[in-house]
Structures are given as C-alpha cells and as structure tokens.
C-alpha cells in the first residue's frame, strides 16, 4: 500500500487559494497550474500541479494526466529558452517511500546546471530507507526548514524568476 505524507493544511491547496506567501504562477490550464518551486535548488525549478487535490499519479483522471504532460512540455521549452540548461530533469514522487513530502500531485521540471546544489532530490532517494519514514510518522517540517535555508530565495526573486520563465512560454 502506498503510504501518503501528511501535511495539514495542504500547502499546494493553500497556494491555489492564495494563502501561500511564496507562490508565483508561471502557467495556467483548466486542470493544472505551473508554479515556481519555493525551494530553488536549481534556478527556475518549478512544478506542474493539479488544481484538484489528489495525491498521486494513480489518482489522476486521464484528462489530468494528459494536461500535466502538455504543461510540463510547455514549461520545459520555456526553461530551455530562459536558462539554457545543460539538461532538464523531470520527476514525480508517489508516497513517502518515493520521497513524496506533500500529499498533492506535483510534477517537478528542473533545469540542471553544472555545480548546482541539488540538496533534496534523487541522491537522497538512492536508498529505500533514505526515501521513506517509519509508518505513521507525520511529516517533520524541521528538515524542510534547514533545506529551505540552504536555497533561500526571496518572494520578490521567485516572482521575478516566474515572470521571466512565463515570458518564454510557447504560444498555445
């Protein structure tokens, strides 16, 4: 059984409702939003999220699944145009044992640059034990605080980065 992280209230639903301070929308569709990731482990790191509160890939409708793919491709084009990255990493976590920390579907789209501080990400997920938490353990935000501190970006900076990426989105 896939164990989901616990986060109440859901930070992504808070963002959609306009109650999240570090929130900047890059692109909008009927079923998805593309938002800047408040943790800029890579400059321009963003996520495609569903408007609906669903936890994992397994919960998506076919329409949402398609919309996520289209939105990810759109923003990937914009990231390449904006940052000329050496690569674009996409990933998505389903359950705490895959490293999921927020119980709301989000698909990461990350422009990779040489020498960047990845922080939390695939290396942390190299072992099964490293990815998961003991069953029933609530999400512990203290680790997040330390990680956030390492890659702290001001709200203004996030908004500027989101605007820059948005200006390079392909025309629909």
For binding to Zn ion (CB under 5 A), which residues are involved?
10, 12-13, 53, 104
Least distance (Å) between residue 18 CB and Zn ion? 14
**Residue closer to Zn ion (CB basis): 9 or 170:** 9
Residue whose entry in the numeric block shows the structure tokens 């495609």: 48
Least distance (Å) between residue 101 CB and Zn ion? 13
Alpha carbon 104 to chain centroid, angstroms: 10
Rounded to whole angstroms, the maximal C-alpha distance in the chain is: 46
Q: For residue 2, what is the DSSP state?
A: P
**Residue closer to Zn ion (CB basis): 53 or 73:** 53
Least distance (Å) between residue 13 CB and Zn ion? 3
- Residue 101's CB is within 10 A of a number of other CB atoms, namely 17
Cα gap 68→14, rounded to integer Å: 20
Least distance (Å) between residue 158 CB and Zn ion? 19
**Residue closer to Zn ion (CB basis): 68 or 169:** 68
Do 104 and 35 contact (CB within 8 A), yes or no? no
**Residue closer to Zn ion (CB basis): 13 or 60:** 13
């Amino acid at each position: 059984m896939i164990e989901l992280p616990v986060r109440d209230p859901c930070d992504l639903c808070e963002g959609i409702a306009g109650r999240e301070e570090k929130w900047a929308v890059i692109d909008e569709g009927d079923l998805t939003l593309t938002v800047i990731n408040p943790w800029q482990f890579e400059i321009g790191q963003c996520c495609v999220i569903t408007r609906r509160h669903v936890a994992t890939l397994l919960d998506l409708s076919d329409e949402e699944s398609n919309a996520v793919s289209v939105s990810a491709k759109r923003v990937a084009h914009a990231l390449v145009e904006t940052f000329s990255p050496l690569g674009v990493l996409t990933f998505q976590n389903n359950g705490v044992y895959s490293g999921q920390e927020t119980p709301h579907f989000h698909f990461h789209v990350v422009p990779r640059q040489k020498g960047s501080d990845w922080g939390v990400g695939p290396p942390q997920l190299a072992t099964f034990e490293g990815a998961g938490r003991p069953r029933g353990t609530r999400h512990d935000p203290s680790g997040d605080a330390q990680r956030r501190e390492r890659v702290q970006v001001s709200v203004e900076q996030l908004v500027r980065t989101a605007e820059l990426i948005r200006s390079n989105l392909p025309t629909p």
